[in-house]
Amino acid sequence: MKCEYCRFAPSVGAEGYQDECGYFEKYGTTWKDGREGCTLSYKQLEKWDDEYAESLGNMGLDMGMQMDFEHLGISLEKTIEHCKHMLGMDLRKTYRRHGREYYKPYRNYWYGNEPGLEWFSKMDLADKEQEEGKLPYYYLTEQGIRWLERHIGITIRPVED
């Protein structure tokens, strides 16, 4: 892709200078017509940009959660253990395939009061159902399962219904 057509190329500043593209050093080339560009396609650049944005979002979420949990006096380690119990990870073992560790949950619920899971339900990492006069049920959402995967380093398969 030629730099002048690339949507990811840095814009020209007020002084008329343009920053160098972060990918040019590794993937840059000069085409036959003399214009500079890279050997990457637009889809590759878009995919990498989306992955980078997602990793920044995950990092911000994790840092914010850690600060909130410390401020509220909630144990993050205890909440992680409760999330693992919610998926049944304390009763069944994980399995390895192609060098990665996986877990296939057979359930996704927690019955009881847990301040960490209450906070999860406010952040859309868990769903909460509560009947009047009874303790609440918590269910991890897809985002909550991805959060747990990042923290324990295990790929969690989709929950069977």
For residues 55 and 38, what is the distance between their CA atoms, to the nearest angstrom?
Answer: 24
Per-residue pLDDT of the chain (161 residues; tens, 9 = 90+): 667 777 777 777 666 666 677 777 888 888 888 888 888 888 998 898 899 999 999 999 999 989 999 999 999 999 999 999 999 988 888 999 999 999 999 888 888 888 888 888 888 999 999 888 899 999 999 999 999 999 999 999 887 65
For residues 108 and 87, what is the distance between their CA atoms, to the nearest angstrom?
Answer: 5
Domain ranges (residues) in the chain: 1-40, 74-156
pLDDT at 159: 72
pTM listed for this prediction: 0.75
CB proximity list for 29: less than 8 A, separation 6 or greater: 36, 37, 38, 39
How far is Cα of residue 112 from the mean position of the Cα atoms in its chain? 27
pLDDT at 146: 93
pLDDT at 84: 92
